[in-house]
Amino acid sequence: MFTLIKNAEVYAPQALGQQDLLLCNDKIIAMAPQIDFSFGEVTVIDASGKKAVPGFIDQHVHVLGGGGEGSFRSRCPELDFSQTVKNGVTTVVGMLGTDSMTRSIENLVAKTKALNEDGITAYCLTGAYEYPSPTLSGSVKKDVTFISECIGVKIAISDHRNSCITTQELARLAADVRQASLFSGKVGVVHMHLGNGKAGLSQVMAIVENTDVPIKHFRPTHCGKQFDDAVAFANMGGYVDFTVSEDASQSAENLLNALTAIENKEKITCSSDSNGSLPKWNEKREMIGMGVGSISSLYRAIRALVQEKGVALEEALPLITSNVAKGLEIYPKKGCLAVDSDADLVLLDKDLEIDTVFAKGRLMVENKTVLAYSYFGR
């Protein structure tokens, strides 16, 4: 099946000017200023006046729903597949959060497989907030090695809800993930929920400085809670992930601060914490309210970064495309528009709103209308 996208202004994410893109099944097979193609059946889309950008990657999504801190009735809902593509997200990394009692790694893997069947690309992380990590196989190392969708482990640090993992235990966990990554050919991430606790990133920095575990395996998220530590960690060569929120303007301000403070911009990413709980705590660490993360926050923050903060589109897009793909070691298959890359792309209108979305070459959204749904979604 061929699709020819004509006259798009391409950001790959670097600005390439007006280009035609030819898709065949799930790949981009040609990109040039002019493509004349008439072999067999081909769908032609005129993208005049639109910008073509890579499909967005959200590496922190509670695909099963998060929450549970406010009793059973506070469990957040599962990720809705149609909302994912509606918001331009074509690749997700799913994980558990605080609650690994009423949700399991088995369910997480099943949901991840379902999202792949629905037509996007989905990975997952074993583990949860606590240590020892909950797993499917009984071993973090085995989960990462043998579960094809599993690319690492989730853990919480510097948070009053964590298991107070010691520096030695965290180092051992990272060593296990590194070994599994070598066995399986995966990136092997230790994805760390970072709270606003006293330790900050001190444990991780100590491991990087005093052991032989490469810094690339450590991935702190929610880094706005420990901004100074995050800047120091990024300047050591580590990736840092900033969580965006429903307040797109504030999220854009936070991302601009990171872009200003961190020398290597490629080490900066952002994610939505979609479907995760957003509890509000008082000074006694008592929960006084709860919100729910939305996958719509991801691109809205980038749009605000461009329109409100004056950051160039080609400088803002990498935070949810190429930077994330490089960090997950799936670049250039993901995170860019190039020949032989996956046909994950988004067309933006003149106001930088999402108009059309392709995931692995399949048309998911057209003229702002969702065309793809999960099995029971419609």
Catalytic positions are 273
Residues in the chain: 378
Both structure tokens of 90:
């074509």
For residue 210, how far is the Cα from the chain centroid? 29
Both structure tokens of 30:
């040609």
Q: Report d(CA 356, CA 87) in Å as an integer.
A: 10
Per DSSP, 14 falls in state: S
CA distances from residue 249 to 155, 228, 270, 306 in whole angstroms, order as listed: 29, 21, 14, 11
Both structure tokens of 124:
């997952």
Q: Report d(CA 135, CA 270) in Å as an integer.
A: 26
In one-letter notation, the amino acid at residue 244 is: V
Both structure tokens of 270:
């952002």
The answer to whether the CB of 142 falls within 8 A of the CB of 162 is: no
Integer-rounded Cα radius of gyration of the chain: 20
Both structure tokens of 365:
């959204």
Please tell me whether residue 51 adopts helix, strand or coil conformation: strand
Closest by CA to 145, choosing from 175, 123, 176, 174, is 176
Both structure tokens of 59:
């590496």
Place of tokens 């419609």: 378
The answer to whether the CB of 314 falls within 8 A of the CB of 322 is: no
Closest by CA to 110, choosing from 149, 141, 83, is 149
In one-letter notation, the amino acid at residue 370 is: V
The answer to whether the CB of 342 falls within 8 A of the CB of 27 is: yes
190 half-sphere exposure, CB direction, 13 A CA radius: 30
